[in-house]
Amino acid sequence: MGVFENIANGFITAFQPLNLSLCFIGVLVGTFTGVLPGLGPVAAIALLLPLTFDLSPVTAIILLSGIYYGAMYGGSTTSILVNIPGEAASVVTCIEGYPMARQGRAGPALGISAFASLIAGTISIIGVMISAPLISEFALKIGPPEFFSLMLLGLTLVTYISHGPVIKALMMAALGLVLGTVGLDNVSGLPRFTLGIKYLLDGVPLVPFAMGLFGISEILVNLEETLHAEIYQKKIDGIFPTVKDWTTSIWAIFRGTVIGFFLGLLPGAGPVIASFASYGVEKRVSKYPEKFGTGVIEGVAGPESANNAAAQSAFIPLFTLGIPATPAIAILLGGFVIHGIQPGPLLIANHPDVFWGVVASMYIGNVMLLILNLPMIGLWVRIIMIPYVYLSPLILLFCLIGAFSINYSSSDVYLMLMFSIVGYLMKKCKYEGGSLILAFILGPPMEKTLRQSLIMSQGDFSIFFQSPISLIGLCGAAFLLITTILPLFRTRRPALGVKD
């Protein structure tokens, strides 16, 4: 079947009434998630994952995907109007967006943000359509040693560029790998780290684990923090950018799209790094860099293009290699597995309806997001003004019902509550939850490919150095680990000679 036939079938799938409705619900919830400071797409996907169990795989992934890229749109609203980023990728938008609002140009800032997101998202989706089948064909030619090395490199890269002390990220990654081994050994069939608890024989369930770690813990942290923000109260007009605004911003949009698309392919980089990189590039190429920070429209257009392009291109390593690039994509990978689909080289061949249906829904979702973000700005501002103390009980109730409805087991609820305490303590102590969830998701396939490789070589570890791809992956991971560990020793040496 040709490309155009696949695209046509994808749109037929996406335009089915149920899929179209849930695509709209997904982007609406994603926008709501992005507008509310502190919640984020990771928590939203984790909270809504139980609702997808009775849906078909393609419908479920359309819903969850809409939440992910929808949050990229919603975060810019609070950044521009309130100077509080709705999610991490919108931090850079505050730098230029809020000064523009203070100058009475909130409308153009919101407008260029929405249109830049649409353009970048559309171009990136075309990139997904073109590159994903090619990468899948290439991935079919590589074996377990290469997959193990690539997953190890991805996990190490995520840890390397994580926020905060790298040693904490390494600790969280190690904990995630350990939690991923809980349950029955996939070779011997013997229980591992179950502590004699029959509930853990199937491993730590993903949904209660993620809901507690990211959902309820986020509620607890947000209840502690009272956000005081001056909301932009003037009438917002002139949402459609002028010709001058477009002339100034168009190249920033295309540069941000390219930067975001390629950084989105890298595990751990994602929308956050892409938006910062785009802002840095725009400031460097600008003819008036001294004006940056005072309300320059390119400083909104570039980062918003970058974070939305990265959100779309992050699906490429998921679809083609089964490797999540961000924590949110990691939970989305869990959604695939729960529905009996293994992302990777065979996804497009074995489940073309899922791949092309989800890709087509991204086109539709991006248009829906433009419609949602411009006319409904007043509604989003009112939602921001709702005290979080009123929203948190509803979210908590939803979590409890969702956790129990998975297997109708109180053990899932207890596990979720336990990990909510763990997640809360992690956030208070500045430990990386992203490294933990990625390691938890990647741990089982890493172990599987490691053992497959050793069975193929009869226990000879040199098999990992025979393939150029595997060798490059291992060398890259070793380089990142060495450059991470060496500074820790260097900073401690002077302290040994200090006298009281």
Closest CA to 149 of 483, 478, 484, 481: 478
Determine if residue 430 is left, alpha or beta; phi over 0 gives left, psi from -120 to 50 gives alpha, anything else beta.
Answer: left
Please report, for residues 18, 31, 33, 313, the alpha-carbon distance to residue 385 in angstroms, rounded to integers and kept in the order given: 32, 16, 14, 33
User: Tell me, what's the pLDDT at 257?
Assistant: 92
pLDDT in single tens digits along all 500 residues of the chain? 567 788 888 899 999 999 999 999 988 888 887 777 656 777 778 777 877 888 888 999 999 888 888 877 777 777 787 776 666 667 778 888 888 888 888 888 888 888 888 898 889 988 888 888 888 887 777 788 888 888 888 777 766 656 667 778 888 888 988 998 898 887 777 888 888 888 888 888 877 887 788 777 877 877 776 555 555 555 666 677 888 888 888 899 999 999 889 888 876 556 777 888 888 888 888 888 888 888 888 888 888 898 888 888 888 888 888 878 777 888 888 888 888 888 888 888 888 888 899 999 998 988 888 887 777 776 776 776 666 677 777 777 777 776 776 677 888 888 888 988 998 898 888 887 777 877 887 788 888 888 888 888 888 888 888 888 888 888 988 887 787 777 655 554 444 444 44
Q: Where are the domains of the chain?
A: 3-227+239-489
Report the predicted TM-score, pTM, of the whole model to 2 decimal places. 0.74
Whether the CB-CB separation of 193 and 182 falls below 8 Å is answered with: yes
